[in-house]
Structure 1
């Protein structure tokens, strides 16, 4: 009987111990969660984002923050073009953030033994030929790190008209291209590199590129609201709200100009889905039970390679002032913008999707750098300038330009009298200098290509990027041209009068 009693007591002891253990475990989880929640600066991030949106007239955005393998913050701000509140499931075009997905698809094929990064791509796509014998040496690695020698200046993908209708069409159009530099020698960011990579994925996997992404990346990551399109004219504005450009600081909803973006900038996603993508990057290629890529593969994507030493495989790795590693990428369309940032030492990932596009007066990167500063105890400095101030300044400049143009028109007769006492070369030089605004206006695409690292932009995109500046230059150019025409007309009339007087 004592033995039986001892057994009962022992079982009770085990049960009590298990119950206490579970209670303590749950208590620890609760306490840790409570402290984590208390320590997370949600209110500060909220205030920062709302202030930045107000200063920059951003109609809407969504942000997600991850730490290691957890989503610790996800929220939408503002409204869509149809005035619906933005949520964490609102779709956005993510533009060049798509490149890191293309890079992962390539790396998956590498780890499957089906692709060698350092073999010439002609072994995989024999139809790839350039008007340059150096093209036969281009490798997949050089496409990934933008050192293929293909640049916007030799093949301006954004301005090609008509745009390609398939990846195979891109390959065919490259037959007339001569490389800007030897493969592997120089870094030149270029979308065509990633269009070629998408074609390689199709040929090697024998799957259409969107199907490959869906099967091997989106589905394992449970990115159920993410899709890929080949051309921006395929955006379904029934499900994807239109983005905006900023006209004198006012958001104007419009459709994205046509652009073939397969492999380079064709994805549509949400911050909830993109947060899962950030987790894969910080969790050695793993999401829950899905291992998309080996830890070594992820590490190689996040490591600088090539002559620039600041670009990996689908990711930018800039040099920072404090020497800490930072991995990032931006995405640019004319009506949408996106930024993503990884801080490996802190295990942090941040993604922000905007429903407004590239603008000369908006520093989109400051949004994500400010949030990272808050999270790492480096509060962002307040910006003195805002887009409203900038646009007011442009409005004043435009009014002054119009006023000076009217003034010059009213002083034409006085100029005519004064010109009688000037040498002919002085008059010609004056007229040439008066057309300076027109020269700038006509040369603007080339100027932007020069200061933009060789990127070639279409005129429609330039307007959407800086409409107030374009309007000012257009007004100044028309005024200067009209004034010069009137000056020349008056000079010729005076010549005829003088000639008639002499003959008379």
Structure 2
């Protein structure tokens, strides 16, 4: 149902929602094609069974808006939301850099580098297609908390900021909620950009922070800065910096390609002695390295990205350093297996 899509209880998973993030096509039929594709996949769970954040939900919803309004989704948002609210420094992503637009930066090991590519396609406008100033986003948060009937009814706004169902106690309709702390919030990211919005509706206080730098893994993590700034503005629990374990994990991933290539080099040096052991161990000599390489590649290219809710293509799109390391490690273990067998 529409409500299940709004509350992320449709059964579509986070990985299914992130699998098409690298589709950056911008023609007017891009969203229609995206939804035609989504109609061919089977949701990971039955609708209404579990809560699982999935961008696919809002891709489907944006197409619903297009069909019912007979208006392209981006045009609809600009004419029905941005302009009526006076968000004059905001627009839907149009893939043309203006003179006042911030340049995006993606993580690259211990620093960040400017990203000159296209960060999203027209099929993703419903999940993250708004370009806005912090001042305009403050206007939007004020609308959500003003208790008035304007672009939405006051009752609709209140319902958006309440638990959507018993299986969605910490999510309403488009907003995360922490009722015990009186907080309503949401974060968002495109390659090279991240944002965080937080409100205390009972106090009529809101906070928005926008950054033209994406978080990295380990040394490049910046999410705690945005959340920490919100804590300073609105109160709440202190944000902790990323621990040494995350940094150590990143350093291990950095070292993985070197370990794999070192193993391949040692196997190459010992290839004569390995073959001299005779045919009696040919089976294990050939199949064991192959099975080890396949298992290791699965962990690197499927399991690890999946634990973050993405596939390897999306991981590389948002964090090119991490994606490159995982791919190089998989190549290195394949070279080792080929030499060793």
- TM superposition score category, shorter chain reference: 0.7 to 0.9
Corresponding residue number in structure 1 for 2:88: 224
Distance 2:323 2:294 in 1: 15
Most deviating of 474-483 and 330-339: 474-483
Query: Structure 1 residues 386, 373: CA separation in 2 closer, same or farther (over 3 Å shift)?
Result: farther
- C-alpha displacement of 1:314: 1.0
Partner secondary structure for residue 181 of structure 2: coil
Q: What 5-or-longer segments of structure 1 have no aligned partner? A: 1-137, 489-504
**Partner SS state of residue 191, structure 2:** coil
Separation in 2, partners of 1:298, 1:354: 26
Cα root mean square deviation, aligned: 3.6
2:10 match: secondary structure: coil
Q: Is the 8 A contact 2:261 2:336 kept in 1?
A: no
Change (3 A) 1:296 1:349: same
Given the alignment of the two structures, is residue 237 of structure 1 paired with residue 92 of structure 2, yes or no?
A: no
In structure 2, which of residues 139, 163, 170 is the aligned counterpart of residue 276 of structure 1?
139
1:407 aligns with 2:266: yes
Could you say which residue in structure 1 is the equivalent of 2:64? 200
Confirm or deny that 1:298 pairs with 2:161. no
Who wins on radius of gyration, i.e. which is larger? 1
Give the secondary structure class of the aligned counterpart of 2:334. helix
Instruction: Give the Cα separation in 2 of the matches to 1:332 and 1:257.
Output: 10
1:340 corresponds to = 197
* Contact 1:437–1:473 (8 Å) recurs in 2: no
Please give the secondary structure, in 1, of the residue aligned with 2:63: helix
Task: State the TM-score, normalized to the length of structure 2.
Answer: 0.79
Unpaired stretches in structure 2, ≥5 consecutive residues: none
Q: 1:358 to 1:163 in 2, by over 3 A?
A: farther
User: Which string of whole-angstrom CA distances, capped at 9 and with x for unpartnered residues, describes residues 363-398 of structure 1?
Assistant: 443123312333427554455549988766654555
Compared CA separation, residues 396 and 380, structure 1 to 2 (3 A): same
Match of 2:124 in 1: 261
Aligned pair in 2 of structure 1 residues 483, 186: CA closer, same or farther (>3 Å)? closer
Structure 1 residues 302 and 482: CA distance shift in structure 2, 3 A: same
TM-score by length of 1: 0.56
What whole-Å deviation, never above 9, does each CA across 1:442-461 have from its counterpart, x for those lacking one?
x6235533x24xx45361x3
- Could you tell me which residue of structure 1 aligns to residue 232 of structure 2? 374
Cα distance between partner residues in 1 of 2:36 and 2:248: 47
Partner of 1:480: 333
- Once the two structures are superposed, the pairs formed by residues 5-404 of structure 1 within 5 Å of their partners are 138=1, 140-151=2-13, 156-158=19-21, 165-229=29-93, 234-239=94-99, 240-254=101-115, 255-259=117-121, 260-285=123-148, 291-306=150-165, 307-318=167-178, 323-361=180-218, 362-375=220-233, 376=235, 378-381=237-240, 383=242, 385=244, 394-404=253-263
SS at match of 1:317: strand
For residue 324 of structure 1, report the CA deviation from its aligned partner: 1.4
* Matched-pair contact (CA < 8 Å) for 1:437–1:477: no
What is the DSSP-based 3-state SS (H/G/I as helix, E as strand, rest coil) of the residue aligned with 1:350? strand
CA-CA distance at 1:227 after TM superposition:
0.7
Task: State the secondary structure of the residue aligned to 1:339.
Answer: strand
CA gap 1:378/1:358 in 2 versus in 1, 3 angstroms: closer
Cα drift, residue 416 of structure 1: 3.8
Query: What SS does the aligned partner of 2:126 have?
Result: coil
Give the distance between the partners of 2:253 and 2:305, measured in 1 at CA.
19
State the number of aligned residues. Answer: 333
Q: What's the CA shift for 1:468?
A: 3.8
State whether residues 227 and 267 of structure 1, in contact with CA within 8 Å, keep that contact through their aligned partners in structure 2: yes
Cα separation, partners in 2 of 1:364 and 1:172, compared to 1, 3 Å: same
User: Hey, what does 2:311 align to over in structure 1?
Assistant: 457
- TM-superposed CA distance for 1:326, in Å, is 2.0
C-alpha distance in 2, partners of 1:379/1:447? 29
Per the alignment, in what secondary structure is the counterpart of residue 228 of structure 2? helix
The structure-2 alpha-carbon separation of the partners of 1:390 and 1:267, relative to structure 1 and needing over 3 Å to count, comes to same
1:217-274 Cα distance to aligned partner (Å, 9 max, x none): 2223221011114xxxx42124434312112123222213553213221111111111
How far did residue 312 of structure 1 move? 0.8
Indicate how the Cα distance of structure 1 residues 477 and 437 shifts in structure 2: closer, same or farther if over 3 A, else same.
farther
Task: Write the distance in 1 (CA, Å) between the matches of 2:72 and 2:337.
Answer: 57
- What is the DSSP-based 3-state SS (H/G/I as helix, E as strand, rest coil) of the residue aligned with 2:168? coil
1:160 Cα shift? 6.3
Aligned residue for 1:262, secondary structure, equals helix
